[in-house]
């Protein structure tokens, strides 16, 4: 092709923006279309694990995330008596990959991505409502009557993806019957040292406390409840506190100090995995392709890996449509593994009876160190060798 490949990206979330950074980096012409009237800056925190940072590095992109968030130094799993169940080898495995895992606010991650992009390529208030393909290219129509053409369309339009419906029809939602509360707050406590992460496991409830740098702590809590109640949650932080009565003081302290209006709630949900990600000149990326429960903290990380692999394939293959199919072929097994592990781990972590919680605690406490390390290596190691490229 004599002209640069023109790629249209639907959605300016973490997945869409990362794809834009990677595809611009390899010389594509890129247009990003976001349905919201402005780029969303609110939101909570995220972990961008070592595998995602390695994926970007493999294609020559470095977001310098350590300057935007907090590199992970210690990850503890504790019970509600405040006893340490196990320290997880995430910092060591990340370092052995050559890349820290970083905890960061969504806002800061978005800033890090936008820093790499010319803002003129991002079009807001543009909701994709129609897709038409021909031998020459793909046309995308928007709710306000706008239209654009390109060589390829990447559906990075999230959990309720229009592009996914175009590719594979409507997919069922799998409700997990628990709520997630999320907040970022300024908070200091001697337990929370730089790069500290603690997950507290209770009966049908959990809390995570995460340093994201700059004096800010990202905390999330979960509690089993019917999806209907979780979806329409209207409670205050006092109501949330009532779920954690008798838990370590740090838990009630941080919740009490967070204004109600700063706490977001979402019902936990994913979709059963599907291996149909694309057709013709269209493919999917991020939550549009593989929405997963949050247990592994890898939803955004998988979107970032997708973007890197897509970049490698478009660089390697002369035929862009063949590159999309090769991208899907490479990504599907690993994405499916993450969706499945997130689901089974979520069931384990939301166990609600004293006996099953004790079993869960014992299983983690007595897991041989080498097994634990191998499990994390499988998750945190970006499989760059499978791409036929030399790691940078």
Determine if 10 is a binding residue for ligand FAD (CB under 6 A): yes
Q: Give the separation between CA 376 and CA 52, rounded to whole angstroms.
A: 14
Measured at the CA of 299, the angle between CA 232 and CA 270, to 5 degrees, comes to 45
DSSP annotation of 5 reads P
Determine if 182 is a binding residue for ligand FAD (CB under 6 A): yes
Q: What is the nearest approach in angstroms of ligand FAD to the Cβ of residue 266? A: 5
Tokens of 173: 């939602």
Determine if 16 is a binding residue for ligand FAD (CB under 6 A): yes
CA-closest candidate to residue 99, choices 58, 134, 152: 58
Q: Give the separation between CA 75 and CA 13, rounded to whole angstroms.
A: 27
Determine if 208 is a binding residue for ligand FAD (CB under 6 A): no
Sign of CA dihedral 270, 271, 274, 278: negative
Judged by CB under 6 A, the chain residues 287 through 346 that form the site for ligand FAD are 287-288, 294, 297-301, 303
> Phi then psi for 21, rounded to 5 degrees?
-60, -50
For 138, the enclosing helix (H) or strand (E) is strand 138-142
Determine if 65 is a binding residue for ligand FAD (CB under 6 A): no
Pair 160, 128: CB distance under 8 Å: no
Q: What is the nearest approach in angstroms of ligand FAD to the Cβ of residue 93? A: 16
Q: Which is nearer to ligand FAD, 120 or 371 (CB)?
A: 120
Q: Residues 25-64: x/- map of binding to ligand FAD (CB under 6 A)? A: --------xxxx---x-----xx-----------------
Tokens of 177: 């019957």
Q: Give the separation between CA 11 and CA 154, rounded to whole angstroms.
A: 9
Helical spans, DSSP H, in 131-280: 162-168, 227-231, 237-242, 249-256
Q: Residues 126-165: x/- map of binding to ligand FAD (CB under 6 A)? A: -xx---------------------------xxxx--x---
Other residues' Cβ atoms within 10 Å of the Cβ of residue 367 = 13
Q: Residues 74-113: x/- map of binding to ligand FAD (CB under 6 A)? A: ----------------------------------------
Binding footprint of ligand FAD, residue count (CB under 6 A): 34
Determine if 211 is a binding residue for ligand FAD (CB under 6 A): no
**Which residues neighbour 385 within 8 Å (Cβ) at sequence distance 6 or greater?**
391
Q: Which is nearer to ligand FAD, 185 or 317 (CB)?
A: 185
- Exactly one of 6, 7, 13, 274 binds ligand FAD (CB under 6 A); that residue is 13
Judged by CB under 6 A, which stretch of 89-97, 117-125, 286-294, 381-389 contacts ligand FAD?
Answer: 286-294
**Which residues neighbour 120 within 8 Å (Cβ) at sequence distance 6 or greater?**
none
Q: What is the nearest approach in angstroms of ligand FAD to the Cβ of residue 57? A: 17
Q: What is the nearest approach in angstroms of ligand FAD to the Cβ of residue 285? A: 7
CA-closest candidate to residue 71, choices 186, 196, 188: 196
Q: What is the nearest approach in angstroms of ligand FAD to the Cβ of residue 154? A: 11
Other residues' Cβ atoms within 10 Å of the Cβ of residue 1 = 9
- Exactly one of 278, 286, 326, 357 binds ligand FAD (CB under 6 A); that residue is 286
- Whole-angstrom CA distances from 44 to 231, 242, 262, 263, 301 are 18, 22, 9, 9, 15
Q: What is the nearest approach in angstroms of ligand FAD to the Cβ of residue 165? A: 9
Tokens of 63: 């977001």
Q: What is the nearest approach in angstroms of ligand FAD to the Cβ of residue 143? A: 8
Determine if 15 is a binding residue for ligand FAD (CB under 6 A): yes
Q: Which is nearer to ligand FAD, 323 or 339 (CB)?
A: 339
Q: Which is nearer to ligand FAD, 260 or 356 (CB)?
A: 260
Judged by CB under 6 A, the chain residues 239 through 268 that form the site for ligand FAD are 266
Q: What is the nearest approach in angstroms of ligand FAD to the Cβ of residue 78? A: 18
Residues at the interface with ligand FAD (CB under 6 A): 10-16, 33-36, 40, 46-47, 127-128, 156-159, 162, 180, 182, 266, 286-288, 294, 297-301, 303
């Amino acid at each position: 092709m004599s002209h640069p490949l023109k790629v249209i990206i639907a959605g300016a979330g973490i997945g869409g923006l990362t794809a834009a950074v990677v595809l611009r980096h390899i010389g594509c012409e890129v247009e990003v279309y976001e349905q919201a009237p402005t780029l969303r800056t609110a939101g909570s925190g995220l972990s961008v694990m070592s595998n995602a940072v390695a994926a970007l590095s493999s294609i020559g992109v470095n977001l310098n995330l350590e300057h935007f968030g907090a590199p992970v130094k210690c990850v503890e799993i504790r019970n509600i008596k405040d006893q340490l169940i196990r320290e997880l080898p995430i910092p060591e495995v990340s370092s052995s990959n050559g890349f820290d895992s970083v905890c960061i606010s969504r806002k800061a991650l978005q800033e890090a991505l936008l820093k790499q992009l010319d803002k003129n390529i991002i079009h807001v208030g543009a909701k994709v409502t129609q897709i038409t393909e021909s031998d020459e290219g793909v046309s995308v129509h928007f709710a306000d009557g706008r239209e654009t053409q390109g060589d390829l369309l990447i559906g990075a339009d999230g959990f309720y993806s229009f592009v996914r419906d175009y590719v594979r029809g409507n997919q069922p939602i799998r409700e997990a019957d628990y709520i997630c509360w999320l907040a970022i707050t300024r908070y200091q406590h001697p337990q929370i040292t730089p790069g500290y992460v603690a997950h507290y496991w209770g009966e049908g409830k959990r809390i995570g406390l995460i340093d994201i740098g700059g004096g800010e702590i990202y905390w999330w809590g979960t509690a089993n409840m019917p999806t209907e109640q979780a979806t329409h949650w209207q409670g205050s932080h006092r109501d949330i506190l009532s779920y954690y009565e008798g838990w370590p003081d740090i838990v009630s302290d941080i919740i009490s100090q967070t204004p109600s209006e700063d706490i977001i709630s979402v019902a936990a949900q994913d979709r059963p995995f599907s291996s149909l990600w694309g057709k013709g000149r269209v493919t999917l990326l991020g939550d549009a392709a593989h929405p997963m429960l949050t247990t592994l903290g890898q939803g955004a990380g998988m979107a970032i890996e997708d973007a890197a692999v897509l970049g490698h394939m478009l660089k390697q293959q002369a035929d862009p449509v063949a590159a999309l199919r090769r991208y899907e072929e490479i990504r599907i097994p690993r994405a499916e593994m993450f969706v499945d592990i997130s689901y089974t781990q979520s069931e384990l972590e939301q166990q609600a009876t004293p006996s099953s919680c004790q079993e869960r605690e014992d299983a983690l406490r007595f897991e041989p160190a080498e097994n634990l390390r191998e499990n994390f290596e499988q998750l945190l190691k970006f499989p760059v060798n499978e791409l036929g490229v030399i790691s940078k």
